[in-house]
Amino acid sequence: MSGPQTPEPALGGRGASSTGSQDEDTADGIQSSHRMLSFSDALLSIIATVMILPVTHTEISPEQEFDKSVQKLLATRIAVYLMTFLIVTVAWAAHTRLFQVVGKIDDTLALLNLACMMSITFLPFTFSLMVAFPEVPLGILLFCVCVMAVGAVQALIVVYAFHCPHLLSPQIERSAHRALYRQHILGIVLRGPALCLAAAGFSLFFYPVSYLLMATVIFLPYVSKVAGWCRARLVGPREPPAHSLEIFTFDLHEPLSKERVEAFSDGVYAIVATLLILDIWNLRTSEAKPFSEDNVPDSKDVKAKFHGSLVAALGASGPHFLAYFGSFATVGLLWFAHHSLFLHIRKATQPMGLLNTLSLAFVGGLPLAYQQTSAFARRPHDELESVRVSCAIIFFASIFQFAIWTTALLQGGETLQPPVRFGGREHAFMFAKLALYPCTSLLAFACTCVLSSFSTAIFHAMQIAVPFTFLLLRLLVRLALAGLRGLRGLRGLARPTHTRPVPGATDDAQSPLLPAPC
């Protein structure tokens, strides 16, 4: 089974599912929680991401964008979207922690988990209410009620699991001070809801405070994470693995299960990729009236405008498909980078989890980029803003991935898979892969400042060029490193030209890495 640092529901579940004990468990109605967790991950990632839809949709519909600047609108709306995305990820993180403690499930827990998911699915709805009525208390109130409901169900799960200890993860089941952990977990689970209760209260007479409190709900865990990380930096990242295994499932400030981080990220990438295509014909099916000129055509329009020629009608919406191809390639390649990144990482520590969340939040913004860049046909006048927004989204989505990798290097051997501990070729590949999008998006942004009139062309050129650059880059790095095979490490790392900030980081990454055991 892979690295000792995660409880790994996957292996715990599937691995055991052929052993006698697991069979008896199944016979007693106790089940491995693996599949329920991946289902929850899929659900939560989708919920977190579809929140971009009200942003993109309210973006298109009204005429206000002709008097206001698109950039300002986007800034505020993206901020709200990010906030709720982070809220869902906080709920997800709490859920992850919860089921790192609750090792197995029975039917009651499965049903409780469904109830939890159901209350979480109301977050986007109450969110859109809040966006629609920022100053009406009811919107905030409902949102807070949702969060509290989630917290309540999760608390129920904790209580139930501690009521029948055989459902707990073995370490906790065996441990002497179980009650302590219970308080620990209940505290973490109920922290957010408590603040939201206060927020709900304030919403009744002074709503700005509620927004402040909700912001606290989001950032509190991350603040504590960062604090914990700084502490870890001072103590030094390397404890003996046995000990770190000890802490892992107990101390709730320890890394999240890598499998669940991957599952959640996959869900986000998958739904984003789907939202892109969904946008193409969602515009048609539901908003045919305003924009039928440049979306998938209405049969009436085809007769009216294109003399019944569907080809002409589709040709009219060519830019959409170009934008779609570009955006899908972007999503796919960002997933690809994320995938190869986590191939080299053994555990997701708190700062990495935070960076991953931020990266995903911007990935969730990509449909917005698509919808922006595909809207040129009808709004050429804010083309420049759109391209810049898209570049910014792509840049942040990718730079946070890059940050994950550098953080992993900084945190030393425990977080890396053995083969990449010594740098060299794999490091070069990773830096090349991860640095590609930040550089190209920055480049595109810079170009739009210089040649503002060609911004669209530049942007699409970038989107189309990058995939080929990926292949080319691999060949380049491979060739160069074939020569450098003998002397690994720093020179191998400094190889890709666009990783300026890195060598410093990897200098102090190498020194602790070299002695690390394989």
Alpha helices in 12-164 (DSSP H): 16, 20-27, 34-50, 52-60, 70-101, 107-132, 137-163
Find the binder of a copy of itself among 299, 452, 453, 511 (CB under 8 A). 299
Q: Which is nearer to a copy of itself, 25 or 254 (CB)?
A: 25
336 vs 338: CA distance, rounded Å: 5
Q: How far apart are CA 281 and CA 291, in angstroms?
A: 11
Among 12, 103, 193, 267, binds a copy of itself (CB under 8 A): 267
Other C-beta atoms closer than 10 Å to the C-beta of 168 total 22
Q: Which of residues 134-163 bind a copy of itself (CB under 8 A)?
A: 136, 138-139
Which residues from 420-449 bind a copy of itself, rule CB under 8 A? 420, 425-426, 429
Lookup result for tokens 């960076």: 355
Q: Does 463 bind a copy of itself (CB under 8 A)?
A: no
Query: Is 469 one of the binding residues for a copy of itself (CB under 8 A)?
Result: no
Are the C-beta atoms of 344 and 408 separated by less than 8 Å? yes
Binding residue for a copy of itself, selected from 159, 223, 310, 464, defined by CB under 8 A:
310
Provide the minimum distance between the beta carbon of 496 and a copy of itself in the complex, in angstroms, as a whole number.
15
* Distance in angstroms (rounded) separating the CA atoms of residues 423 and 420: 5
The number of beta carbons lying within 10 Å of the beta carbon of residue 178 is: 13
> Do 298 and 281 form a contact (C-beta atoms < 8 A)?
no
Whichever of 344 and 388 has its CB closer to a copy of itself, that residue is: 344
Using the minimum distance from each CB to a copy of itself, give the nearer residue, 6 or 373: 6
Based on CB atoms, which residue is closest to a copy of itself, 55 or 393?
A: 55
- Count Cβ atoms below 10 Å from residue 28 Cβ, excluding itself: 10
- Of 160 and 325, the one with the shorter C-beta distance to a copy of itself is 325
Query: 277-311 burial, b for 16+ CB within 10 Å, e for fewer?
Result: eebbebbbeeebeebbebbbbbeebbeebbeeeee
Subset of 342-381 contacting a copy of itself (CB under 8 A): 342-344
Smallest separation (angstroms) from a copy of itself to the CB of 95: 14
What is the helix (H) or strand (E) element at residue 310, kind and residue range?
helix 310-316
Rounded to an integer, what distance in angstroms lies between the CA atom of residue 263 and that of residue 261?
A: 6
261 lies in the binding site for a copy of itself (CB under 8 A): no
Tell me how far apart the alpha carbons of residues 505 and 496 are, in angstroms, rounded to a whole number.
15
- Contact (Cβ atoms closer than 8 angstroms) between residue 449 and residue 442: no
Residue 397 touching a copy of itself (CB under 8 A): no
Angle between helices 70-101 and 350-364 (to 10 degrees): 140
Rounded CA-CA distance 347/259 in Å is: 9
Residue 191 interacting with a copy of itself (CB under 8 A): no
266 counts as binding a copy of itself under rule CB under 8 A: yes
133: contact with a copy of itself by CB under 8 A: yes
User: x-or-dash pattern for a copy of itself, window 69-108, by CB under 8 A?
Assistant: --------------------------------------xx
Establish if 197 lies at the interface with a copy of itself (CB under 8 A): no
Is 286 a residue that touches a copy of itself (CB under 8 A)?
A: yes
State the Rg of the chain over Cα: 25
64 binds a copy of itself (CB under 8 A): no
Q: Is 401 helix (H, G, I), strand (E, B) or coil?
A: helix
Stretch that binds a copy of itself, among 40-48, 77-85, 355-363, 370-378 (CB under 8 A): 40-48
User: Restricting to residues 8-27, which ones interact with a copy of itself according to CB under 8 A?
Assistant: 8, 10-11, 14-18, 20, 23-24, 26-27
Q: Which stretch binds a copy of itself (CB under 8 A): 49-57, 92-100, 362-370, 434-442?
A: 49-57
Rounded CA gap, 57 and 477, in Å? 42
In angstroms, rounded to a whole number, what is the distance separating the alpha carbons of residues 340 and 417? Answer: 12
Nearer to a copy of itself, 18 or 176 (CB): 18
Which residue, 50 or 101, has its beta carbon nearer to a copy of itself? Answer: 50
Quick one: 388 or 488, whose CB is closer to a copy of itself? 488
Least separation in angstroms between CB 145 and a copy of itself:
12
Choices 112-120, 144-152, 164-172, 458-466 (CB under 8 A): range interacting with a copy of itself: 112-120
DSSP run (H or E) holding 486: none
Q: Segment contacting a copy of itself (CB under 8 A): 171-179, 307-315, 382-390, 446-454?
A: 307-315
- How far is residue 156's CA from residue 186's CA, in Å, rounded to a whole number? 9
- Residue span binding a copy of itself (CB under 8 A) among the ranges 219-227, 233-241, 264-272, 358-366: 264-272
Q: Which of residues 477-496 bind a copy of itself (CB under 8 A)?
A: none
Shortest separation between residue 226's beta carbon and a copy of itself, angstroms? 28
Residue 195 or 275: the one with the smaller Cβ distance to a copy of itself is 275
Q: How far is the CB of 272 from a copy of itself (least distance, A)?
A: 10
Which of 7, 12, 46, 383 lies at the binding interface for a copy of itself (CB under 8 A)? 46
Residue with tokens 């329009």: 301
Q: With beta carbons less than 8 A apart as the criterion, state whether 295 and 283 touch.
A: yes
Contact 6, 248 (CB under 8 A): yes
State the minimum distance, in angstroms, from the CB of residue 122 to a copy of itself: 7
State phi, psi for 105 to the nearest 5 degrees. -130, 160
CA-CA distance, 28 to 106, in Å (whole number)?
9
